[in-house]
Amino acid sequence: MTLSADGTPCFITGPFSGSIDPIARWKVETEWWNELVIREYWKALLNSNLLCELYHDLTNDEWFVERVYD
């Protein structure tokens, strides 16, 4: 994942790769039971045509594609 200067995702590599245009962002903090989960979710357009949902696992500093909408 490549981030822009303001910290928003702007490019992803892997099976789904290309430029990212963020649409919405929200944060989830829960104690899924006794193992703290802190994630920052992003709804974004990939390559200007594929709507997807990404999340940044803030505990482990890892990025994931959560969902792809068709």
pTM: 0.83
Q: What is the pLDDT of residues 14-47, one digit of tens each?
A: 888 899 999 999 999 988 788 888 999 999 999 9
CA distance 51 to 15: 15
Q: What is the pLDDT of residues 39-57, one digit of tens each?
A: 999 999 999 899 999 999 9
Q: State residue 14's pLDDT score.
A: 85
CA distance 5 to 27: 20
Q: State residue 38's pLDDT score.
A: 94
Q: State residue 36's pLDDT score.
A: 85
